[in-house]
Amino acid sequence: MLAVLSLWKVSPAAAPRFCMTPAHLRGHHTLGSASLPVAGPSVRHVRALDEERLMAVEWEDGGQSLYPFTWLRDNCQCPRCTLQSAEARLLLLADLDIHTGVDSVEVTKDSKVGHLFFFFNWMKKYCFLYLYLFIYLFILALCLRYYWDASLRIPTADFQDVLHDDGAALAWLLALRRVGIVHLKGAPAEQGQVARLAERIGYLRLTFYGHTWQVQDKSMANNVAYTSGKLSLHTDYPALHFAPGVQFLHCINQAQEGGESEVVDGFHMAEQLQAEDPEAFRTLSSVRVDFTDTGTDYCDFMLQSKNRIIE
Ligand SMILES: [Zn+2]
Q: What pLDDT, on the 0 to 100 scale, is given for residue 24?
A: 34
d(CA 37, CA 46): 7
Cα 73 to middle of ligand 1, angstroms: 7
**Mean pLDDT of all residues in the chain?**
81
d(CA 57, CA 48): 9
Cα 212 to middle of ligand 1, angstroms: 48
Please state whether beta strands 43-49 and 35-37 pair in parallel, antiparallel, or not at all (unpaired).
Answer: antiparallel
- Per cent of the chain over pLDDT 70 is 84
Closest CA relative to residue 105, chosen from 45, 155, 33, 170 = 33
pTM reported for the whole predicted model: 0.67
pLDDT digits (tens, 9 = 90+) for 30-40: 433 344 444 44
Task: List domains and CATH numbers for the chain.
Answer: 4-135 (3.30.2020.30), 187-308 (3.60.130.10)
Cα 257 to middle of ligand 1, angstroms: 69
d(CA 24, CA 16): 10
Contact indicator for 307, 291 with CB cutoff of 8 Å? yes
Cα 49 to middle of ligand 1, angstroms: 21
User: Would the pLDDT of 295 be above 70?
Assistant: yes
Helix, strand or coil, per DSSP, at residue 280:
helix
User: Would the pLDDT of 268 be above 90?
Assistant: yes
The C-alpha angle with vertex 188 and arms to 253 and 194, in degrees rounded to 5, equals: 85
Cα 25 to middle of ligand 1, angstroms: 11
Cα 149 to middle of ligand 1, angstroms: 54
Cα 75 to middle of ligand 1, angstroms: 8
Cα 80 to middle of ligand 1, angstroms: 5
Q: Give, as one character, the DSSP assignment of residue 276.
A: H
Helix, strand or coil, per DSSP, at residue 139:
helix
Q: What pLDDT, on the 0 to 100 scale, is given for residue 29?
A: 40
pLDDT digits (tens, 9 = 90+) for 210-224: 888 887 777 777 777
Closest CA relative to residue 34, chosen from 123, 128, 108, 91 = 108
pLDDT digits (tens, 9 = 90+) for 65-85: 888 888 888 888 888 898 989
Cα 237 to middle of ligand 1, angstroms: 48
Helix, strand or coil, per DSSP, at residue 172:
helix
Strand ranges for the chain from DSSP E: 4-8, 35-37, 43-49, 54-59, 64-68, 82-83, 88-89, 104-108, 117-119, 156-158, 183-185, 288-296, 300-308
d(CA 307, CA 39): 61
* Res. 277 pLDDT band, cuts 50 70 90: very high
H or E segment to which residue 137 belongs? helix 128-142
Cα 116 to middle of ligand 1, angstroms: 4
Please state whether beta strands 54-59 and 82-83 pair in parallel, antiparallel, or not at all (unpaired).
Answer: unpaired
